[in-house]
A and B are shown apart, each in its own frame.
Chain A
Amino acid sequence: MDHLAKLENKSIHILREAYSEFDNLAMLWSIGKDSTVMLWLARKAFFGHVPLPLVHIDTSYKIPEMIEHRDRLAREWELDMIYGQNETALEEKNTFPDGNATHLECCRKLKTEALRNTLNGRWRRYRMNHNTGEYELDDSREPFTGVIVGGRADEEGSRSKERYFSARDENNDWDVSDQPPEFWSQYKTDFAPGTHVRIHPILDWTEVDIWEYILREDIPMVSLYFDQGDGTRYRSLGCGPCTKPVESTASTVAEVVEELKTGKFSSVAERAGREQDKEDGGGLESLRREGYM
Chain B
Amino acid sequence: MTGNEKQDIKLVLAGHVDHGKSTIMGRLLADTDSLPDGKLEQVKETCRRNSKPFEYAFLLDALKDEQSQGVTIDSARIFFETDFRKYIILDAPGHIEFLKNMVTGAARAEAALLVIDAAAGVQENSRRHGYMLSLLGIEQIAVLVNKMDLVDYDKQIYQEIKEEYHSFLQEIEIEPHTFIPVSGMEGDNLVELSPRMSWYQQETVLELLDSFENEKLPRNKPFRMPVQDVYKFTKGGDDRRIIAGSVASGSLEVGDEVVFYPSGKKSTVKTIEGFNEPEQTKVTTGKATGFTLDEQLFLTRGEVATRNGEAKPQVGTRLRANIFWLGRDPLVKDKTYDLKLNTARSQATLVEINRVIDASDLSQHQNKEQVERHDVAEVVLELDKAISFDLAGELAPTSRFVLVDEFEIAGGGIIQEALADEQTWVREMVMLRNYKWESSRITLEERAEKYSQEPTLVLITGEEDVGKKPTAKALEKELFDNGKIVYFLGIGNLLYGVDADIKHSEENQKEEHLRRLAEVSHIMLDAGTILIVTAIEISQQDLDLIKTTVDAEHIETVWIGENITTDVDYDLHIPDFKDEKEASRQIKSLLQDRGIIFKPW
List residues of A whose CB falls within 8 A of some B CB.
Answer: 1-6, 8-10, 12-13, 16-17, 19-20, 43-49, 51, 78, 153-154, 156-158, 160-161, 163, 176-177, 179-186, 188, 190-192, 203-204, 206, 208-209, 212, 217, 257, 261, 267-269, 281-283, 285
Contacts and interface: CB of A to CB of B under 8 A. Distances in A.
Nearest to A10: B288
Contact of B107 (A183, A257, A261): A183
Contacts of A19: 229
13 contacts: A1-B287, A2-B5, A3-B86, A19-B229, A154-B77, A160-B62, A160-B78, A181-B412, A183-B409, A186-B340, A212-B3, A267-B36, A269-B39
A16 B77 contact: no
A235 B49 CA distance: 30
Interface of B: 2-8, 35-39, 42, 46, 62-66, 73-74, 76-79, 86, 88, 100-101, 103-104, 106-108, 136, 217, 228-229, 231, 233, 235-236, 238, 240, 242, 244-246, 273-276, 286-288, 290, 301, 326, 338, 340, 342-343, 400-402, 404, 407-409, 412
B242 to A, nearest CB: 6
Given A153-B77, A181-B103, A184-B402, A47 B274 contact: yes
B41 to A, nearest CB: 11
A47 B8 contact: no
Nearest 3 A-B pairs (CB), nearest first? A157-B62, A183-B107, A181-B100
Nearest to A218: B276
Nearest to B39: A269
Given A176-B73, A267-B37, A268-B36, A45 B409 contact: no
Given A4-B4, A186-B340, A180 B100 contact: yes
B244 A16 contact: yes
Contact of B242 (A1, A47, A188, A190): A47
A119 to B, nearest CB: 19
A66 to B, nearest CB: 23
Q: Which of B231, B275, B342, B402 has the most CB of A within 10 A?
A: B275
A176 B106 CA distance: 18
A160 B73 CA distance: 12
A269 B62 contact: no
Contacts of A153: 77
Contacts of B136: 183
A181 B104 contact: yes
Contact of A181 (B39, B228, B244, B409): B409
Given A177-B73, A180-B100, 9 more contacts: A2-B4, A3-B3, A16-B288, A47-B233, A48-B275, A157-B63, A179-B74, A261-B3, A283-B63
Contact of B276 (A43, A269, A281): A43
B240 A16 contact: no
A285 B68 CA distance: 14
Contacts of B338: 190
B408 A190 contact: yes
A45 B274 CA distance: 8
A290 to B, nearest CB: 15
Contact of B409 (A188, A204, A285): A188
Given A9-B286, A192-B407, A269 B36 contact: yes
Contacts of B66: 177
B63 A176 contact: yes
Contacts of B401: 184, 186
Contacts of A257: 2
Nearest to B106: A183
Contacts of B7: 3
A202 to B, nearest CB: 13
Nearest to A157: B62
Contacts of A282: 42, 46, 62
Given A1-B217, A17-B228, A6 B8 contact: yes
Contacts of A203: 77
B412 A46 contact: no
A47 B244 CA distance: 10
Contacts of A48: 233, 238, 275
Contact of A269 (B38, B88, B228): B38
Contact of A283 (B62, B228, B233): B62
Contacts of B246: 9, 12-13, 185
A212 B1 CA distance: 13
Contact of A176 (B5, B65, B86): B65
Q: Which of A1, A8, A185, A268 has the most CB of B within 10 A?
A: A185
A190 B342 CA distance: 15
A206 B77 CA distance: 11
Q: Which of B229, B238, B245 has the most CB of A within 10 A?
A: B229
Given A176-B63, A184-B400, A268-B36, A261 B2 contact: yes
A282 B43 CA distance: 9
A204 B235 contact: no
Contact of A217 (B4, B74, B276, B286): B276
A206 B401 CA distance: 30
B273 A47 contact: yes
A161 B62 CA distance: 10
B288 A8 contact: yes
A257 B2 CA distance: 10
A183 B402 contact: yes
A148 to B, nearest CB: 15
A180 B38 contact: no
